Homo-oligomer: A and B are copies of this chain.
Amino acid sequence: MELTRVIVILAQCVWPLWTQVIHLTDMYGTIKSPNFPESYPKEIELQWNITVPEGYQIRLYFMHFDIEPSYLCEYDYLKVYSDTEELAVFCGKENTDTEQVPANDAIVSPRNVLSVAFRSDFSNEERYSGFEAHFSAVDVDECRDRNDEDLACDHFCHNYISGFYCSCRYGFLLHSDNRTCKVECSESVYTERSGEITSADFPKPYPKSSDCIFLLISMLTCTFLFQLVVSSHNSSQPSRSESLVGEQHLQVCSPGRSCSQ
């Protein structure tokens, strides 16, 4: 029997089995081995390619699993992929040191595609009833799961089924990048003899992507003292406002002189 298997495997390298591919775009469904609940036929190569819209993952779990056991699942097997990444290989009816069955564990695809490949070889020494599995699209909570700094929201992140959007705290405006929160702060005029100016939201970290102009004017002499031009950039780690001058672009302009930085 083993020699025959080797010959068949070698033959399959030269004339590989024809793989039947089934494309599924439903949001949920059931996949079963051929003839289920009767035993599955020999020499089968079947692959289900499941695709759901962007913003979803795919959850897969098995209600029944009984596939011919073999060392490292080299004969009959069920493999689960996402793109080209192999997520699991199963065979048998219970876990051993070298082979796994899905049991009650669910597999969740990292993206919106999942493939299930089932193969039976040329013979089954016993009757194996095959498998039955349920798949369904599950929403990705980007506000909870997303680690990508470029896509994270500056203030509020609102998840919805299939996507998310950002918004800003009261007093802030959403930048055109739809992520960053900025302030509208051009031309703040200060005419008191003394006082304090602070960056927006002080002492919290000051907003990104904002251009603020502070005009300090002496009303006693009606002279323009100087102008501070403060620009913050879309920094991934905004510094605290105490270090405003040192870490950001700050211009001090006096009448009749060029601006210093």
On chain B, the residues within 8 Å of A171 by CB distance are 37
Contact A137 B161 (CB under 8 A): yes
Known: A139-B139, A167-B134. A160 touches B63 (CB 8 A): no
On chain B, the residues within 8 Å of A132 by CB distance are 167, 170
Known: A37-B170, A63-B167, A129-B170. A28 touches B158 (CB 8 A): yes
Question: Could you tell me the distance between the alpha carbons of A181 and B171 in the complex, rounded to whole angstroms?
Answer: 58
Contact A136 B156 (CB under 8 A): no
* CB-CB nearest in chain B for A65: B170
Looking at chain A's contact residues, the main secondary structure is: strand
Question: Could you tell me the distance between the alpha carbons of A27 and B64 in the complex, rounded to whole angstroms?
Answer: 35
On chain B, the residues within 8 Å of A169 by CB distance are 63-64
Contact A28 B160 (CB under 8 A): yes
On chain B, the residues within 8 Å of A129 by CB distance are 170
Known: A64-B169, A170-B37, A170-B129. A139 touches B161 (CB 8 A): yes
Interface mask (A132-172 → B, CB under 8 Å = 1, otherwise 0):
10101111000000000000000010111100000101110
CB proximity to B under 8 Å, residues A194-233? none
Question: Could you tell me the distance between the alpha carbons of A138 and B138 in the complex, rounded to whole angstroms?
Answer: 11
A194 to chain B, nearest CB (A): 28
* CB-CB nearest in chain B for A167: B63
Interface residues of A (CB under 8 A from B): 27-28, 30, 37, 63-64, 129, 132, 134, 136-139, 156, 158-161, 167, 169-171
24 contacts between A and B (CB under 8 A): A27-B161, A28-B158, A28-B161, A30-B167, A37-B170, A63-B156, A63-B167, A63-B169, A64-B169, A64-B170, A129-B170, A132-B167, A132-B170, A134-B156, A134-B158, A134-B167, A136-B158, A136-B159, A136-B160, A136-B161, A137-B160, A138-B161, A139-B139, A139-B161
Extra inter-chain contacts (13) besides given A37-B171, A136-B158, CB under 8 Å: A28-B161, A30-B167, A37-B170, A63-B169, A64-B170, A129-B170, A134-B156, A136-B159, A137-B160, A137-B161, A138-B161, A139-B161, A161-B161
